[in-house]
Amino acid sequence: MSDRETARLPAAQGQAAQDAQAASLRDTSYAFESAEPGLRKGDEEGGAPFLEIRHLHKSYGSFTALRSIHLQIRRGELVCFLGPSGCGKTTLLRAIAGLEAQTSGEIWQDGKNISALPASQRDYGIVFQSYALFPNLTVADNVAYGLVSQRQPKALVAQKVQSLLDTVGLSVSGGKYPAQLSGGQQQRVALARALAMSPGLLLLDEPLSALDATVRVHLRNEIRALQQRLYVTTIMVTHDQEEAMAMADRVVVMNHGVVEQVGTPRDIYQRPATPFVAEFIGKANKLQALAAGNGGITLAGHKLYCPQAPRLAPGQSLHVYLRPEDCSVHDCTAMPPVASAPAPNGSPVLTGVVEQLEFLGAVCIVHVDVQRLPERHVQLQLSPAQCLQLDIQPGRWLQFSIHAQQLKIFAQAA
């Protein structure tokens, strides 16, 4: 467990886990076994959001960790908070959980202002990266903890616990202790425990970070399927882009305590709202260009038609982001080409020398030195078959065109 996690879990079982357990001690509105997907109150287009963050601000002394956060989350959504280390995603999750008091702003859940409620009176279940299971209790007792504290009838508790263990694939592990389970199995127990009280909100704080790659992928698919089946509104903190893209209905991209963009995985990848999002999500070559008027830009001395470019006066500086896959390779030759005709789609053809070829299995990254670009170096993504067919090798001359309408373009001041 990291120092920071230890600091966040000071008591024997972790204060946060205890707070979270306490938060589960209340009557709940949906029965675990009977939850089915489907439209519910407030889900209609334009209906009230299930969770709403209004002008949330959090400072630690003179340091601002969260700045004017506005966010609306619909019932049944899975939303990921994604961003680089220190951007404030955990602070935001903890504020929603009542484990961290906001400096100002409000949090509304299911139509109620919960901003001042202690964690124990909020309606959520939480899963931590470190599992935070009770080591002296069996798996079944861990899952049953909240139900027993609520003095639910023994037979009902046993039935619910078994149903939850079946759901998370641990049907025969109820009698084991956490130390007898793998990391992935312990996280399933933590998930079952968080769901035991049928919370309105499920909070997942980097739940997969401590697991190895194969288990992560397997478990993320299971969590997503379960979340959809239960239709439980879920917020997950992660710094793993692939995880966020694979699991989320919408991703909240954060940077330095502010929300840069909220959108579907496709939105944030294909239509980044800011240069930060364009650079942070996926890979991109950052290039310099100039506005050329009438939806055009000038790049490497060529005019490209880019209707998505911001409307700026000709000559204004632009930041242009080219995804490695947004290109077509036309030829690769041992000698420099004499002249390059435009590509069949009319795009100008650029020429460069192949510097390096990275074989990554499903794709190859080709590093190219393009003399006409001020940045010189670009990375293009091709299939291994294309690389073989065109005999792409270091030292050879590559002719390629870029897909102008896929470029992400921002004014330089943005």
Q: Which residues bind ligand ATP (CB under 6 A)?
A: 60, 63, 65, 83, 85-91, 239
Minimum CB–partner distance for residue 66 and ligand ATP (Å): 8
Nearest to 94 by CA among 119, 67, 131, 121: 119
Strand boundaries in 40-101, DSSP class E: 51-60, 63-73, 78-82
Answer whether 411's CB lies under 8 Å from 318's CB: yes
Compare residues 240 and 355 and give the one whose CB is closer to ligand ATP.
240
Amino acid, res. 152: Q
Compare residues 247 and 299 and give the one whose CB is closer to ligand ATP.
247
User: 105 vs 57, 113, 176, 203, 327, CA distance in Å?
Assistant: 6, 11, 44, 20, 45
Compare residues 90 and 227 and give the one whose CB is closer to ligand ATP.
90
Q: Which residues pair with 81 in a beta bridge?
A: 237, 252
Phi-psi category of 339—alpha, beta or left, where left has phi over 0 and alpha has psi -120 to 50?
A: beta
User: 33 vs 22, 167, 327, CA distance in Å?
Assistant: 22, 10, 50
Compare residues 86 and 314 and give the one whose CB is closer to ligand ATP.
86
Which single residue brings its beta carbon nearest to ligand ATP?
90
Compare residues 21 and 91 and give the one whose CB is closer to ligand ATP.
91
Minimum CB–partner distance for residue 248 and ligand ATP (Å): 16
Amino acid, res. 172: V
Contacts of 115 (CB under 8 A, 6+ apart): 102, 105, 106, 107, 108
Quote the CA–CA distance of 187 and 182 in Å, as a whole number. 9
Minimum CB–partner distance for residue 101 and ligand ATP (Å): 11
Contacts of 388 (CB under 8 A, 6+ apart): none
Start-to-end CA span in the chain (Å)? 40
Compare residues 24 and 255 and give the one whose CB is closer to ligand ATP.
255
Minimum CB–partner distance for residue 49 and ligand ATP (Å): 22
Minimum CB–partner distance for residue 2 and ligand ATP (Å): 9
Compare residues 102 and 351 and give the one whose CB is closer to ligand ATP.
102
**Quick one: angle between helices 89-97 and 15-23, nearest 10?**
50
Compare residues 86 and 315 and give the one whose CB is closer to ligand ATP.
86
* Rg value, the chain, Cα: 26
Minimum CB–partner distance for residue 10 and ligand ATP (Å): 12
Minimum CB–partner distance for residue 100 and ligand ATP (Å): 8
For 10-34, b/e burial (b = at least 16 CB within 10 A) is: eeebbebbbbbbbbbeeeeeeebee
Minimum CB–partner distance for residue 206 and ligand ATP (Å): 7
Minimum CB–partner distance for residue 17 and ligand ATP (Å): 17
Compare residues 82 and 197 and give the one whose CB is closer to ligand ATP.
82
Q: Which residues pair with 261 in a beta bridge?
A: 253
**What percent helix, strand, coil does the chain show, rounded to 5?**
30, 30, 40
Compare residues 86 and 374 and give the one whose CB is closer to ligand ATP.
86
Minimum CB–partner distance for residue 274 and ligand ATP (Å): 17
Nearest to 234 by CA among 267, 263, 201: 201
